[in-house]
Amino acid sequence: MLDIKFLRENPEAVKENIKKKFQDEKLKLVDEVIEIDKSFREAKNKGDTLRADRNRISKEIGAFMAKKLIDDAQKAKEKVKEINDELLSLEKKEEELAAELKKRMLVIPNIIGKDVPIGKDDSENVELEKFGEPVVPDYEIPYHVDIMESFDGIDLDSARKTSGNGFYYLKGDIARLHSAVLSYARDFMIDRGFTYYVPPFMIRSDVVTGVMSFAEMENMMYKIEGEDLYLIGTSEHSMIGKFINTIIPEDEVPQALTSYSPCFRKEVGAHGIEERGVYRIHQFEKQEMVVVCKPEESDIWYDRLWQNTVDFFRSLDIPVRTLECCSGDLADLKVKSLDVEAWSPRQQKYFEVGSCSNLGDAQARRLGIRIKGKDGNYFAHTLNNTVVAPPRMLIAFLENNLNEDGSVSIPEPLRMYMGGKSKIEKK
């Protein structure tokens, strides 16, 4: 959500930004907002004056009554009644205008970063940098479910029976690997100075509507029947939610947090759960990072955040690349974002394993996350990024560490979480 003052003073910049995002249908909203804002402030001003009169006269009535001046009190009462009649319709108008204003402000996109590439959709995202050599071995890399099955490590049939498509049982070494990756990710981030959190896995509806759009909510969130609770789609929901309507003392930022949680997603929409395997599923686990910082520091944190993910994957011998989201593919709330993609030697292409976003002050403005500065309060900047999300990550891990004999090598940093093993063997 933009600052209405910024829009008032820079309508052309806001329009320019909308064009860059190829959302020309939203251009008219800018002029509408300016017009509604003007009427709203007029109505509010008039209302404020009337309310001031009412307050003043009501106080006078108190004084009249104390002195037993019944007639004067009666006259004053009539005057207030007139004011109230006038206010009745005016306040209704104020309310309506405020609602119209908010409705439009919520869909006007955030100003994108200066260096964000201009493009219509994800096909125009821009590769930034490759890390590690994308190797294609001369032996066959099977489909990830087949690799898992070769270790007797997955049972999708049972999962379909108990829970339906989009769920999984992991077992044995594969299940252990899954936990090992998360434990390693946790310690990896703690070593880099992040504070580790295990947050609530369910959140209330007012938090849900705060942290996401209505469309997103419909397509992602599972609701608990008979309760005002939703299963989180990512720990970002509970982690950012904890700051709603909070004023943070200046010496308590930056908040660099890393959180673990299971994530639940309906995955309604474009992709669905059409693919066999564990690439897109209703339930997965994720180690996440969330940062709340001063505005001038968010660029630095953005680079630090995605770098963490790259370093993490590289420490497990997985080649990755960074892909910057172009203007048209960027969610409305974001200033910029990039995907970290892992190399798939089977498909001989990169696929998404994490997403790093700088939301600027848009999320903070929407949720009321402020920092208490010496010269007044200001909105914080918020960022988030995936450390790692297995089991999707295991696809990359297994494909890249698979040996010709069917065993999978365990890179050194992970061994202490796998009972010291340097590789796992086929069953």
Q: Least Å distance between CB 9 and RNA? A: 12
Cβ closest to RNA, residue 56 vs residue 271: 56
Rounded distance between C-alpha atoms, residue 181 and residue 316, angstroms: 10
Cβ closest to RNA, residue 81 vs residue 161: 81
Q: Least Å distance between CB 86 and RNA? A: 12
Cβ closest to RNA, residue 52 vs residue 268: 52
The residue among 294, 296, 360 whose CA lies nearest residue 333 is 360
Alpha-helix runs per DSSP H in 67-202? 70-107, 144-150, 156-162, 172-191
What phi and psi values does residue 225 have, to the nearest 5 degrees?
Answer: -65, 135
Spatial neighbors of 55 by CB under 8 A, at least 6 apart, are none
Cβ closest to RNA, residue 4 vs residue 175: 4
Angle at 237 between CA 245 and CA 385, to 5 degrees: 110
Cβ closest to RNA, residue 244 vs residue 416: 244
Cβ closest to RNA, residue 21 vs residue 381: 381
Rounded distance between C-alpha atoms, residue 153 and residue 144, angstroms: 11
Cβ closest to RNA, residue 52 vs residue 135: 52
**Cα atoms found within 13 Å of the Cα of residue 314, Cβ hemisphere only:** 14
Q: Least Å distance between CB 162 and RNA? A: 20
Tell whether omega for the bond before 254 is within 30 degrees of 0, i.e. cis: yes
Give the SS3 label for residue 55: helix
CA dihedral angle for residue 395, residue 184, residue 282, residue 363, rounded to 10 degrees: -120
Q: Least Å distance between CB 55 and RNA? A: 4
Asked whether the beta carbons of 284 and 367 are under 8 A apart, the reply is: no
Q: Least Å distance between CB 64 and RNA? A: 8
Cβ closest to RNA, residue 101 vs residue 389: 101
* First-last CA distance in the chain: 54
Q: Least Å distance between CB 201 and RNA? A: 13
Burial of 274 (0-12, 13-18, 19+ CB in 10 A): exposed
Q: Least Å distance between CB 231 and RNA? A: 16
Rounded distance between C-alpha atoms, residue 181 and residue 188, angstroms: 10
Asked whether the beta carbons of 116 and 326 are under 8 A apart, the reply is: yes
Q: How far is CA 212 from CA 5, 121, 205, 237, 370, in A?
A: 23, 21, 11, 9, 19
Q: Least Å distance between CB 48 and RNA? A: 4
Cβ closest to RNA, residue 73 vs residue 175: 73
Asked whether the beta carbons of 37 and 101 are under 8 A apart, the reply is: yes
Residues in contact with RNA by the rule CB under 7 A = 4-5, 41, 44-45, 47-49, 51-52, 54-59, 61-63, 65-66, 76-77, 80-81, 84, 228, 247, 370, 372, 376-377
Question: One-letter amino acid identity for 192?
Answer: R
Q: Least Å distance between CB 417 and RNA? A: 24
Cβ closest to RNA, residue 57 vs residue 118: 57
What phi and psi values does residue 58 have, to the nearest 5 degrees?
Answer: -60, -40
Q: Least Å distance between CB 67 and RNA? A: 8
Q: Least Å distance between CB 234 and RNA? A: 22
* DSSP per-residue string spanning 197-220: E---SEE-HHHHHHHS-HHHHHHH
Cβ closest to RNA, residue 5 vs residue 114: 5
